[in-house]
């Protein structure tokens, strides 16, 4: 199950020249097997694409599979920090795994750059100078949709999410900005794949809109069943539920759905155009949000490596914090708690050349910062 | 709360129960006849769903996909029986659990190897799309009604097979005394393979039917497998009748619990707390029911050798 893929392989394993610069060792722990593997594979592919493009031969990436298990992720992290002596760790998809790994890793003085998970516990009072989140804080996309629901003049939204920390965070985020009344609020079982009961309640509630956060297969199942149930109430969701990795499985039922994201394939900037084309050429599919976060994280590391030695922790930390890299999001900067301050858009699912994808229809937030930054003492 | 909503939820419970029955029937037959705990039953469910999605995508016909799911799951079941399970009949249950758990990993990674890591798309056939009106003003998804119908037909078919045919007589005899029917000249090895393939085909059918409603992805079988075990424990291990009763009971209790408990809790709690607490209790409900039934009837509702 364990796979060690050295990016050096992709970059052409040429140690013959023995470059003068100090080698940088990056450990990537991500989910490459099990039901959530699509997300980790995208992060890895995006990350390795950026390293390959850079042509930097001094960067060595060690990739290992956490199988979406917190205890396994902790073991791999310990091994990478203590015996492999990596300088930087990255790659985790899930918040519960991040919570198990990140505090220990950054406490030992290793840098951790988050490619996806952004649990609130690490954004507020427990923020850490060695922890950088290059993706988003977990609440952000939900806040953006709550804000959009006001613009769209929804007054009676039905909200649902799985009954676990990221699920309650999601609905809290939505409610933080949403001003209307709730037609209902439901927490479903994690991993649930049949939503007939919930859909019946949505129908009976007389809601004028539905907001759901159901990552992975849960969201696919919900959307397919919803579209077949004869309800016409409009649906909204965070970008995760309508991104490139799941749209194919949902099918045409997703067309027209509004969802929030800090990135979209059609964002108009040079870095993004180059990235989308390169990703398609390399992997023969469209990039997802996760791939993009992996790509941006790698480029952030590359920008910092060019400025400072990774062994000089203070200088390297400052170089990371500057975030002087060409983000495919157009603009990108870190707030005081090392979480992004960025624009969040509303996208609509469309069909383009026979493939389901998204286009930006509105901007929900400009330079949005998370709600926990204030309680971080950095 | 309107009567339409109640009727809709009752149908949802029935549909969920029927789907569980398709899984549990195979599991209980295999345990009853061969005494094997087959953890890989969920993988056969997944094989059915992937076969249906792949063939439906290639040919454009859900019905051909459904046939393919039956064939693929039955073939996978037969191969697994001949190559692995056959060697486990005389070993203890721990060895069986270990070997069939290994099969789960092999099936999961093998499926990922062939189909990739992203979920596949499988749509409901055209004739079964949309919803129909229910008495009381509600609407109900036509495809779910079709699943209920298909499940009930399979239940009747299984009953006839086991009660009225020679093969059924051998299955019943095998459940009572394996050695004796071997001594009487019945080819026990091929009987085992047939029963295993039959159970696998039922699991594959369930996977294909449900795959069109949900997402076809690696690991989809394991959550259902756990519920199927609950069903056969409640129903009495080895009993088809018990599997049907247990499946409907679990389906209805789970659905009604998820629907009614959060509403009950709002009577004395704040809505968002009630939603969380209600959801938590609802997810435990079927296990509470199982514990209660086992306390009263330790061998299940329809114990085979009672």
Task: For the beta carbon of residue A284, count every other beta carbon within 10 angstroms.
Answer: 7
> With left for phi above 0 and alpha for psi between -120 and 50, is residue B150 left, alpha or beta?
alpha
Task: For the beta carbon of residue B175, count every other beta carbon within 10 angstroms.
Answer: 21
**Of chain A residues 223-262, which have a CB less than 8 A from chain B?**
224-225, 228-230, 245-246, 248-251
Can you list the domains of chain A with their CATH numbers? Answer: 5-136+267-334 (3.40.50.2300), 140-261+344-375 (3.40.50.2300)
Range A256-285 average pLDDT: 94
The structure tokens 């949505």 sit at A202
How far, in Å, CA of A346 to CA of A151, rounded? 11
What single-letter DSSP state applies at residue B125?
A: P
Interface mutation vs chain B, best among A166, A201, A212, A228, most B CBs within 10 Å:
A228
**Contact B192/B34 with Cβ under 8 angstroms?**
yes
The model's pLDDT over A37-71, given as tens digits with 9 standing for 90+, comes to 889 999 999 999 999 999 998 999 999 999 888 99
CB contacts of B7 in chain A (<8 Å) are none
Q: Which two tokens stand for residue A51?
A: 């390293």
**Contact A138/A169 with Cβ under 8 angstroms?**
yes
Q: Which of B9, B219, B255 sits opposite A35 (nearest CB)?
A: B219
Cβ–Cβ of A196/B12 closer than 8 Å?
yes
Under the banding of pLDDT at 50, 70 and 90, the label for residue A19 is: very low
Instruction: List the single residue in A with minimal CA-CA distance to B53.
Output: A249
Instruction: List the single residue in A with minimal CA-CA distance to B258.
Output: A197
pLDDT for B268 equals 83
What single-letter DSSP state applies at residue A17?
A: T
Task: For the beta carbon of residue B136, count every other beta carbon within 10 angstroms.
Answer: 12
How far, in Å, CA of A244 to CA of A357, rounded? 6
How far, in Å, CA of B3 to CA of B23, rounded? 31
**Contact A358/A264 with Cβ under 8 angstroms?**
yes
How far, in Å, CA of A369 to CA of A346, rounded? 17
CB contacts of B214 in chain A (<8 Å) are 193-194, 217, 220-221, 224-225
Whether the CB of A168 is below 8 Å from some CB of chain B: the reply is yes
Q: pLDDT tens, position by position, for chain B (306 residues)?
A: 578 888 888 999 999 999 999 999 999 988 888 888 899 999 999 999 999 999 999 999 999 999 999 999 999 999 999 999 989 888 888 999 999 999 999 999 899 889 887 788 888 888 888 888 877 777 888 999 999 999 999 999 999 998 899 988 888 888 788 788 888 888 888 888 999 999 999 999 999 999 998 888 888 888 899 999 999 999 988 888 999 999 999 999 999 998 888 888 888 887 777 877 888 888 899 999 999 999 999 888 987 764
Residue A8 reports pLDDT greater than 50: no
pLDDT for A22 equals 74
Q: Which of A200, A221, A224 sits opposite B12 (nearest CB)?
A: A200
Instruction: List the single residue in A with minimal CA-CA distance to B113.
Output: A33
Locate the domains of chain B by residue range: 7-220
The structure tokens 């794949």 sit at A193
CA distance B238 to chain A (A): 27
Specify the 3-state DSSP secondary structure of A370. Answer: coil
The CA-based diameter of chain A, rounded to the nearest angstrom, is: 70
Among A7, A13, A14, smallest CA distance to A50 is for: A7
CB contacts of A224 in chain B (<8 Å) are 212-215
**Of chain B residues 227-286, which have a CB less than 8 A from chain A?**
255, 258-259, 262, 271-272, 275-276, 279-280, 282-283
Q: Torsions phi, psi of A160, nearest 5?
A: -145, 150
CA distance B93 to chain A (A): 26
Instruction: List the single residue in B with minimal CA-CA distance to A248.
Output: B121
Under the banding of pLDDT at 50, 70 and 90, the label for residue A378 is: confident
Specify the 3-state DSSP secondary structure of A59. Answer: strand
The model's pLDDT over A215-247, given as tens digits with 9 standing for 90+, comes to 877 888 899 889 888 888 999 999 988 998 889
Instruction: List the single residue in A with minimal CA-CA distance to B211.
Output: A221
How far, in Å, CA of B76 to CA of A18, rounded? 52
Among A349, A299, A309, A378, smallest CA distance to A127 is for: A378
């Amino acid at each position: 199950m364990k796979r060690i893929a050295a990016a050096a392989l992709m970059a052409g394993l040429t140690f013959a020249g023995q470059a003068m610069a100090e080698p940088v060792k990056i450990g990537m722990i991500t989910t490459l097997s099990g039901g959530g593997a699509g997300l980790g594979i995208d992060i890895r592919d995006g990350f390795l694409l950026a390293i390959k493009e850079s042509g930097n031969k001094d960067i060595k990436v060690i990739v290992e599979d956490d199988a979406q298990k917190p205890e396994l992720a902790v073991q791999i992290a310990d091994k990478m920090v203590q015996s492999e002596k990596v300088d930087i760790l990255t790659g985790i998809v899930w918040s519960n795994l991040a919570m198990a790994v990140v505090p220990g890793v950054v406490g030992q003085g290793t840098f951790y750059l988050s490619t996806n998970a952004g649990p609130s516990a690490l954004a507020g009072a427990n923020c850490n100078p060695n922890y950088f989140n290059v993706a988003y804080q977990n609440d952000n996309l939900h806040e953006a949709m709550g804000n959009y629901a006001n613009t769209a003049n929804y007054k009676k939204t039905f909200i649902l999410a799985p009954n676990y920390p990221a699920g309650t965070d999601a609905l809290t985020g939505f409610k933080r900005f949403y001003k209307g009344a709730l037609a209902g609020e439901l927490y479903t079982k994690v991993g649930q794949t049949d939503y007939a009961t919930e859909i019946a309640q949505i129908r009976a509630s007389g809601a004028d809109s539905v907001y759901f956060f159901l990552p992975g297969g849960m969201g696919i199942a919900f959307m397919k069943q919803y579209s077949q149930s004869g309800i016409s109430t409009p649906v909204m969701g965070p970008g995760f539920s309508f991104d490139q990795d799941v749209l194919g499985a949902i099918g045409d039922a997703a067309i027209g759905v509004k969802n929030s994201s800090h990135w979209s394939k059609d964002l108009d900037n040079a870095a993004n155009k180059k990235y989308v084309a390169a990703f398609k050429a390399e992997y023969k599919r469209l990039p997802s949000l996760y791939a993009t976060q992996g790509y941006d994280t790698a480029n952030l590391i590359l920008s910092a490596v060019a400025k400072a030695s990774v062994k000089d922790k203070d200088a390297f930390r400052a170089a990371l914090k500057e975030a002087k890299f060409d983000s495919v999001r157009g603009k990108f900067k870190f707030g005081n708690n090392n979480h992004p301050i960025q624009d969040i858009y509303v996208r609509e699912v469309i069909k383009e050349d026979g493939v389901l994808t998204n286009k930006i229809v509105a901007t929900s937030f400009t330079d949005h910062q998370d709600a926990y930054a204030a309680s971080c003492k950095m | 709360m309107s009567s339409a909503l109640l009727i809709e939820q009752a149908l949802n419970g029935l549909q969920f129960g029927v789907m569980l029955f398709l899984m549990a029937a195979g599991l209980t037959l295999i345990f009853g006849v061969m005494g094997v705990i087959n953890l890989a039953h969920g993988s056969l469910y997944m094989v059915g769903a992937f076969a249906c999605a792949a063939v439906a995508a290639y040919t454009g016909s859900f019905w051909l996909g459904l046939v393919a799911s039956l064939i693929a799951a039955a073939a996978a079941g037969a191969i697994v029986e001949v190559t692995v399970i056959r060697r486990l009949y005389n070993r203890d249950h721990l060895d069986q659990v270990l070997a069939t758990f290994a099969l789960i990993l092999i099936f999961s990674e093998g499926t990922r190897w062939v189909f990739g890591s992203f979920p596949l798309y499988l749509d409901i056939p055209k004739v079964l799309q949309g919803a129909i009106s229910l008495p009381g003003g509600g609407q109900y998804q036509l495809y779910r009604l079709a699943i209920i119908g298909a499940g009930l037909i399979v239940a009747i078919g299984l009953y006839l097979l086991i009660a009225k045919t020679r093969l059924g007589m051998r299955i019943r005899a095998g459940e009572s005394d394996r050695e004796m029917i071997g001594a009487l000249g019945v080819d026990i090895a091929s009987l085992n393979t047939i029963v295993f393939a039959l159970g696998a085909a039922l699991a594959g059918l369930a996977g294909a039917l449900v795959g069109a409603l949900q997402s076809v992805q690696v690991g989809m079988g394991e959550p259902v497998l756990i519920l199927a075990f609950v069903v056969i424990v409640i129903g009495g291990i080895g009993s088809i009748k018990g599997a049907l009763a247990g499946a409907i009971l679990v389906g209805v209790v789970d659905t009604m619990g998820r629907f009614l408990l959060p509403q009950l809790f709002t009577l004395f709690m704040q809505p968002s707390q009630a939603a969380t607490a209600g959801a938590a209790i609802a997810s435990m409900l079927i296990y509470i029911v199982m514990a209660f039934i086992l306390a009263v009837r330790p061998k299940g509702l329809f114990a085979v050798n009672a």
